[in-house]
Structure 1
Amino acid sequence: MKSLIILLLSCFTIMSCGDSSTDHLEEPTKIIQKQSVVFIAGIDEDDNSFYKNAKAHFSQQNIIVVEDLHALDAIISWLNKNADDKVYDQIHIVSHSNPWRGMALLTSEDGARITATSLKNSTLPKPNGGITENTKIIFHSCGLGANKDLMKGLKLAFSSGVSPSLYASEYFNIFGGKYASHYLAQPFYVFYPTANSPGNKTLSREIAQKYPNANLDWLTALGTREETTSGAIYSYRFNIPVDWEIVFEDASKIPELDSADSIMDYILENDEFAFALYELGIPMEKFRWTSSSEGPILKIQGKTTVLTALMPVMNTYEPAEYTAPDIMHARLYSQF
């Protein structure tokens, strides 16, 4: 387990308790410590350095960095345990997220990814100190600000007697960029069955039809994997998997699904699976479908690749500079 990294504490304020009269002994002055904390709530995989870069960014600030908690219940418990004589000014939570699968942050160590549904069905500890109506909880999670239902659920999770303000952006959060350690980027999406790309020319025509008002060089964007110049559009890709298991009473009843078309037909005939794909919002044909069986269990697996063009959000008044990720900027962040 990674150790807890504690950096410099933020400034504190002194609040006086009791009567100020000199006719009797004054009660001791109570020191209320005001602090901020960031939870690096995940581990990088493959060549992705999102969490590493976020840690480096926040380590340069006057803030506590916690990097060994990857579940919401553990984060709330940590806040409760460390709340004695403290008031949390800002609570930052860094976690992968996308509009289709919710957050990579889990509800509990053995729980599910956080979605509006999984959050509603989970049992979490209640905040019991340190969080006030002035506390700002800031999620650095791509596109999370667009998920209103999930943000409302997270607000409830952090509310107990008092209700803090929550902030999240509809844009992508980028840490460790060439020209800024943290900035936001507007995403544009196009999908294809994993390992079966039709090619960037076809995908550029498709994304141009999807975003007719963007007027961007899509072919260049989809073929560029990193920032080339300040503010230049580039692309990033990730996969979204679907895994289902169906248990039959008799293995002989398992249907023979020997092609992608037969698998998709089977999914359409099953209301539960068809509805799950409908909620996901990604066309069925954009997945690479496979099936297998083991005893009485039929396994259906699908995987789609999301090719995302990212346009950095630039400063309106200084076009060569990135816009600072200011949570009070209504165009950049939604408040809940």
Structure 2
Amino acid sequence: MKKVISTTALGLSLILGTSSFMSCKQAKSEQATQHSTHQEMAETVKSPSKKSVRTPVVFLTGYDKDQAGYYEGAKKYFGGKNYQLVEGTFAIEEIIDWLNTNATAHPYGDIHIVNNNKPQFGLQLETTVNGTKASAKNLQECIDNGSLPALKNVLTDESKLIFHINELAQNTQLINTLKAAFITDKTPQVIASPYFSVFGGSFSNHYMAQPYYVFYPTAESPGKVDLSKEIAKKYPNEKEIEWYSALTNERERYVGEPYTKQYNVPVTLEIDYKNSDDEIPSFTSNAELISWITNHTELKKEVEKLNIPVHKFRWRYRVKDSQLTITGLSTVLCVLKPITKPYGDLEHVKPDTNNKRLYAMK
């Protein structure tokens, strides 16, 4: 019987950070602060259903490895709102531990989680410290086996988990699993967007963008002309983008100008033939290997989870003892079209989480 194991990998760098606490109210003196705190706690005891909530807290779950300035942009954006910023949390476990450790008599209101992910990988965030990436499957396994800490009763019915994570609203299964990870005696509201959440832009420190994709086997690009024809055919209803120009443009040079982000997506498929009657196959060409993967339902499903066609990967294979390992690498060209106001001065639409055209509540 063949044993099929699939893994996808994308490195997640760590950063040592410090957490800074910013109070939502400043008292004129230490005595006044203590008096205000005692008064609020007394009111909480009298009216437990109307607890005042804390200043919104923002978890910055990565750091910038290039000139994009995504996390620095998020830090500047939320810092300007006097939100409490927390850096150095790179796993769901660390976020929950921080919320439990820093709980007070006042429950959390808005909890923002900022993660500069590649949508094909779900979250660029670990489940537990040094654990697996936080996909729906991996996160559910951590919940089931108890390796993820439980969140204390620190939320209200109005508490919101606001995820600034690219295209998360499209991944219903992952959203439901995240909700389960943060559930207490109250079920938090989850807010996510189907768009890219961009921080640190040239014209706005935070805006949303519509993504469009085209792929090719890494190191085997057909050229920008052919790719522009392919993406135009893929999105026939998008008439505003000049695709060749967008594919050759790496940044927004004027407000609303489409541009392209490029990155690679790896996939690894492992098949153990130790207890199988079948012989380990060999392949004479890449086309033969692609055909073999396509004809094996389990393998094809694993690749399709990435929403990239099998033939858009550059495939390689190796055999060691009884194990066949197949690796693929695809280059992603993601064209981002910033969302701008349809009237008046040309400017980005404000990323208001109450705007149902930009965000969905789950």
* TM-score, with structure 1 as normaliser: 0.89
- The match for 1:310 is 336
Match of 2:259 among 231, 234, 255: 234
Question: Does residue 1:178 correspond to 2:192, yes or no?
Answer: no
Match of 1:63 among 80, 83, 98: 83
Q: Return the alpha-carbon distance in structure 2 between the equivalents of residues 278 and 178 of structure 1.
A: 35
**SS of residue matched to 2:203:** coil
Shift of 1:46: 5.0
Question: Does residue 1:330 correspond to 2:350, yes or no?
Answer: no
Q: Which amino acid aligns with 1:273?
A: L
- The match for 2:3 is none
TM-superposition CA deviations, 1:14-49 (whole Å, max 9, x none):
3515679xxxxxxxxxx9662221111124345554
- The match for 1:204 is 228
- The match for 2:5 is none
- The match for 1:153 is 177
- The match for 1:106 is 126
- The match for 1:257 is 283
Q: Return the alpha-carbon distance in structure 2 between the equivalents of residues 47 and 263 of structure 1.
A: 38
TM-superposition CA deviations, 1:268-326 (whole Å, max 9, x none):
34332122123333211111111123344322111111111111111234341111110
Shift of 1:10: 2.0
Moved more, 96-105 or 156-165: 96-105
- The match for 2:18 is 4
- Percent identity of paired positions between Structure 1 and Structure 2: 37
Write the mapping of 1:251-290 to structure 2, written as runs, cut at 5 A. 253-290=279-316
Q: Return the alpha-carbon distance in structure 1 between the equivalents of residues 231 and 273 of structure 2.
A: 41
Q: Return the alpha-carbon distance in structure 2 between the equivalents of residues 211 and 19 of structure 1.
A: 58
Q: Return the alpha-carbon distance in structure 2 between the equivalents of residues 228 and 177 of structure 1.
A: 10
Q: Return the alpha-carbon distance in structure 2 between the equivalents of residues 284 and 63 of structure 1.
A: 44
Write the mapping of 1:158-169 to structure 2, written as runs, cut at 5 A. 158-169=182-193
Moved more, 62-71 or 258-267: 258-267
Judge conservation of contact 2:251–2:259 (CA < 8 Å) in 1: yes
Judge conservation of contact 2:53–2:109 (CA < 8 Å) in 1: no
Shift of 1:97: 3.1
Segments ≥4 residues shifted beyond 4 Å = 17-20
The structure richer in strand per residue is 1
TM-superposition CA deviations, 1:143-202 (whole Å, max 9, x none):
111112211221222221111211111110111100001110011111111121111111
Structure 1, unmatched stretches of 5+, are: 21-30
1:156–1:322 distance in 2 versus 1, CA, 3 Å:
same
User: Taking CA–CA contacts closer than 8 Å with sequence separation of 6 or more, which of the two structures ends up with the larger relative contact order?
Assistant: 2
Q: Which amino acid aligns with 1:112?
A: T
**SS of residue matched to 2:125:** strand
Judge conservation of contact 2:166–2:193 (CA < 8 Å) in 1: yes
Q: Return the alpha-carbon distance in structure 2 between the equivalents of residues 98 and 237 of structure 1.
A: 10
Q: Return the alpha-carbon distance in structure 1 between the equivalents of residues 247 and 336 of structure 2.
A: 9
* TM-score, with structure 2 as normaliser: 0.83
Judge conservation of contact 1:39–1:65 (CA < 8 Å) in 2: yes
Shift of 1:4: 1.9
The structure richer in helix per residue is 2
Judge conservation of contact 2:267–2:303 (CA < 8 Å) in 1: no
**SS of residue matched to 1:122:** helix
Q: Return the alpha-carbon distance in structure 1 between the equivalents of residues 129 and 283 of structure 2.
A: 35
Q: Return the alpha-carbon distance in structure 1 between the equivalents of residues 46 and 193 of structure 2.
A: 45
Structure 2, unmatched stretches of 5+, are: 1-14, 26-35
Judge conservation of contact 2:153–2:185 (CA < 8 Å) in 1: no
Aligned length: 325
1:301–1:45 distance in 2 versus 1, CA, 3 Å:
farther
